[in-house]
Structure 1
Amino acid sequence: MTKHFSTALAGAALLATTALPALAQTAWDMPTPYGDSVFHTQNIQQFAEDVGEATGGDLTITVHSAGSLFAHPEIKDSVRRGLAPVGEVLMSRLANEDAVFSVDSIPFLADNYDEARALWEASRPLVEEKLAEQGLTLLYAVPWPGQSLYTQEPVESTADLEGAAFRAYNTATERLAQLMGAVPTQIETGDIPTAFATGRVDAMITSPSTGVSSQAWDFTDYYTDTQAWLPKNMVIVNSTAFDGLPEEQRQAVLDAAAEAETRGWEMSEAETAEKIATLKENGMTVAEPSETLSGELSEIGHTMTQEWLEEAGDEGAALIEDYRAATE
């Protein structure tokens, strides 16, 4: 063996050895719809850090917030098609695919955190099943604070909203607007200030978190604390990408996801009081719903629950039965 050949062989062996760790590394891009100031995004950033630490950097997740990689309506299909391995989406955005995805957006079915958690425990197996049929794996879900009304004038009854352009972000809010006599208009979170400024919408129902992040005091004056429902964001992963990870990395992702769900629910609950206080500090009038409005919204909630049950069929009825049994 010549000296030159021996040196080349040794160099090739060294190259192969040093290349092995690089081959084991996996980098995931993760699109999210919301900005860095939103607690969901902050929770996801921590989730990504936890995965990186647990895998010793062999699996890294780069978070692309505020729709910077894919817009909200594109995220779920981007993950399904493998264009992005993992992403965050508002669960109720998928309601057109299956009614189960909108169960957490039925007004007044679950209007506090204890009820919202019971509803999630009852619905999670079915949600996982529906996602699995599309090649998606659920990692975790975290609720927004309860949804409340933002208006430019006080609202004493739904008659005050008749004919108003009302921001909708899923099928449930579209139907709610219709039942209140308002006109639903699809507006993404990032477009809220512009939509109000240009007169495309006059009112909305959303969380205090979104109200603060969009600086709702610049275009509305009244916050009516209806706490109508607690919709969830869910983090989903392409099943093929997930199953292709080494077992220890899959477990690291699952462990980090479980921690993110627990942490996220705690963040959401703390967020409610904090953000309502911020709305007050910035001059918004915060009020409880009038007896008339509460009664009208309760009737709307009953109507929407019945409509949902008709659409969801037997499996939806079983889900609601399990939920009600858990909350009795």
Structure 2
Amino acid sequence: MLKLTSALLLGGLASTASFAEKWHMPTPYGDGNLPTQIAYNFAQEVKDNTKGELDITVHSGGSLVKHTEIPRSVKTGQVQMGEVFMGILGNENPIYKHDNIPFLATTYPDAEKLWKAAKPAVAKALDKDGMVLLYAVAWPAQSLYSKEPVNKLADLEGAKMRAYSPSTSRLADLMGTTPTTIQVPDIPQAFSTGIIQAMVTSPSTGVDSQAWDYVNHFTEISAWIPKNIVVVNKRAFRRLDKASQEIILDAAANAESAGWAGVAARAAKDKATLIANGMTVSQPSPELIKELKAIGKTMSDEWKAEAPKDVAAILYNYEK
């Protein structure tokens, strides 16, 4: 259920006809994460440059709307804007999976290049759903957390693996594990109660959930670099005057630039925090990488088959 009060609803789309508007922006992750910090900066820039006429309140950590409900809440106008992990939209349109394909783009320059290739298609799909794409923020590369060392996939056979998107569910299947959907706030309890035994996620999520309390090993497979996207309800955006729209778009461009500029440093900082708290950080064995790249090839082929024309266009723009 949405955690929306009547007061918030009264401050919804109906308020966009007047100035000194107050908008609400739910985000799924906590304040310690780079995407959330950038969201606060974005909101402050908009407020400053509109001279307070547009005040965006960031509700972090799923405190206003649950993660999986954020896209629908923005689309229907229950909130004006929101942030979402793009991969959770993969069942709606295969183009949202482009940054969840293992080993398609594993460096930050390649991930940014892939985003530029996919961005027009993503914006078009969101527009059809009544939303305007504002900006994206990349996560650090996704790697493997486990209680015991993992040198080959057989070491994980039968384990329950955290899943958080259609692509990560498929990955868990292909790894010989059981996919189990767990959102970030529930990770510690899921490990402590045996609901999951492993996960593939960023060093930032590991720090945010204090992974050292329940796992010992972080294997840097760096399989892919996913993104959060920030979207705004199209009707709410269009009701703003042109000057306010431009301020939002300028702030969004600055937010996206800040994300690409800061993600590598955040990854290094968070990995150092894992080490400082006693976790063993290691490079993957050649056998493990070979097995994972074979899975990546399978997932890439499946992705292409889902939407041959759209996926081919993204890959063409990415590879050219």
Which residue number in structure 2 is paired with residue 95 of structure 1? 90
Paired residue secondary structure (1:275): helix
**Pairwise CA distance, 1:23:** 4.0
2:318 pairs with 1:323? yes
Given candidates 87, 107, 110, the residue that maps to 1:112 is 107
User: Is 1:75 matched up with 2:51?
Assistant: no
Percent sequence identity over matched residues? 51
TM-score, with length taken from structure 1: 0.92
Structure 2 counterpart of 1:125? 120
Q: How does 1:284-323 map to 2 (within 5 A)?
A: 284-323=279-318
- 1:232 is aligned to 227
Deviations along 1:181-229, one digit per CA (max 9) or x if unpaired, are: 0000000011000000110000000000000010000000000001100
Shift of 1:308: 0.2
Q: 1:139 aligns with which of 134, 139, 142?
A: 134
Deviation per CA, 1:156-199: give whole Å up to 9, x if none.
00111110000000011111111110000000011000000110
1:53 paired residue number: 48
Tell me the CA shift for residue 38 of structure 1: 1.2
Question: For residues 252 and 317 of structure 2, what CA distance do their matches in structure 1 show?
Answer: 25
Deviation, structure 1 residue 39: 1.4
For each residue in 1:35-57, what CA deviation from the matched residue of structure 2 results, as whole angstroms up to 9, or x when unmatched?
A: 11111111100000000000000
Q: Indicate which of 28, 32, 41 corresponds to 1:37.
A: 32
Q: Following TM superposition, by how much is the alpha carbon of 1:82 offset from its aligned partner in structure 2, in angstroms?
A: 0.3
2:160, 2:102 → 1: CA distance? 19
Of 25, 28, 33 in structure 1, the residue corresponding to residue 23 of structure 2 is: 28
Instruction: Give matches, 1:70-219, under 5 Å.
Output: 70-219=65-214
User: Structure 1: which amino acid aligns with 2:133?
Assistant: L
- The Cα of 1:101 is off from its aligned counterpart by 0.3
Match of 2:241, as an amino acid?
A: P
Letter in 2 for 1:302: K
For 1:267 and 1:239, the matched residues in 2 are separated by 29
Distance (whole Å) between structure 2 residues aligned to residue 119 and residue 35 of structure 1: 26
SS in 1 for 2:161: strand
Q: Identify the residue that residue 5 of structure 1 maps to in structure 2.
A: none
Query: Number of aligned pairs?
Result: 304
Measured in 1, the distance between the counterparts of 2:310 and 2:29 equals 32
Q: Secondary structure at the match of 2:284?
A: coil
Counterpart residue identity of residue 155, structure 2: D
Q: Deviations over 1:235-277 (max 9, x none)?
A: 0000000010011100000000000000012221111111111
Q: Say which one has the larger Rg.
A: 1
Aligned to 1:257: 252
Deviates more, 1:313-322 or 1:283-292: 313-322
CA distance in 2, matches of 1:273, 1:29: 32
Partner of 2:5: none
For residue 321 of structure 1, report the CA deviation from its aligned partner: 1.7
Give the Cα–Cα distance (whole angstroms) in 1 for the partners of residues 146 and 19 of structure 2.
Answer: 53
Match of 1:11 in 2: none
Amino acid across the alignment from 2:39: I
Q: Which runs of 5 or more structure 2 residues have no equivalent in the other structure?
A: 1-16
Matched residue SS, 2:180: strand
Cα RMSD (Å) of the superposition?
Answer: 0.9
2:155 is paired with a residue whose SS is helix
User: Which position in structure 2 is the counterpart of 1:19?
Assistant: none
Partner secondary structure for residue 24 of structure 1: coil
Whole-angstrom distance in 2 between the partners of 1:290 and 1:82:
48
1:64 Cα deviation (Å)? 0.6
Q: CA deviation at 1:147?
A: 0.1
